Structure 1
């Protein structure tokens, strides 16, 4: 019988992967900051048109800006954590779905995992 099972993909932290993650987080941070600036610009532009109620307009855009600010805080936290992690740590990168063959007598693996080091599969756990 074949089943679909969730497999965790983990990345082993190396100097190379640490640099890539920092670049990714910094790029995401810049994107969030650009979005905040754009939203603030849109509020000012729309306030001048007088087609919208200033209170509703401000509330809507403040919610959107606050979402971006929260994401910015999360990215700052992730960058701090990345600096503290020792090389060789395993970071959960994502989850993927895998088609697995099972039969009576097989050991049931609750959380199979694929371990990646610098973009190369280093180990496959729990998929014997």
Structure 2
């Protein structure tokens, strides 16, 4: 029988991948910052209308702004960690689903044990498990 199982994709940190990840994180931060600015603008614009509850509008918009600011803090943390990690470190980049053959008598823990696909500069260099 075949079953689906999630397998992590790990990336070996090189100068090139570190630069690429840094650029991606900076892009995310910029996008989130722009969203915060847009939400602040929309909040002020809507608060100017007279037939609405300013407090309710303010609360809703501030909640969305705060969510994005928290994401910015998380991206900042990831950037910090990225700069600390030495080259050659493996970082989890995501997950993919894979098919696994399961037969009567197989050790379930071995079947479900964590395998991994390891990528370095865009090339698969190893598949564990």
TM-score (norm 2): 0.93
1:100 deviation in Å? 1.3
Kindly state the Cα deviation for residue 104 of structure 1 after the two structures are TM-superposed: 4.0
- d(CA) in 2 for partners of 1:82, 1:11: 12
1:103 Cα deviation (Å)? 2.5
Deviations 1:5-44 (A, max 9, x none): 1111101000000000000000000000000000000011
- The corresponding residue for 1:120 is 123
In 2, Cα distance between equivalents of 1:60 and 1:81? 32
The question of 1:64 aligning with 2:64 is answered yes
Which residue number in structure 1 is paired with residue 24 of structure 2? 24
SS in 1 for 2:48: helix
| Residue 38 of structure 2 is aligned to residue 45 of structure 1 | no
1:53-85: CA deviations, max 9, x gaps?
000000001100000110111111111110000
Aligned equivalents of 1:117, 1:105: Cα separation in 2: 36
Partner of 2:6: 6
Unaligned runs of 5+ in 1: none
Number of aligned residue pairs: give it.
126
Q: CA RMSD in A?
A: 1.2
SS of the residue corresponding to residue 56 of structure 1 reads helix
Q: TM-score, normalised by structure 1?
A: 0.93
Q: CA deviation at 1:4?
A: 0.7
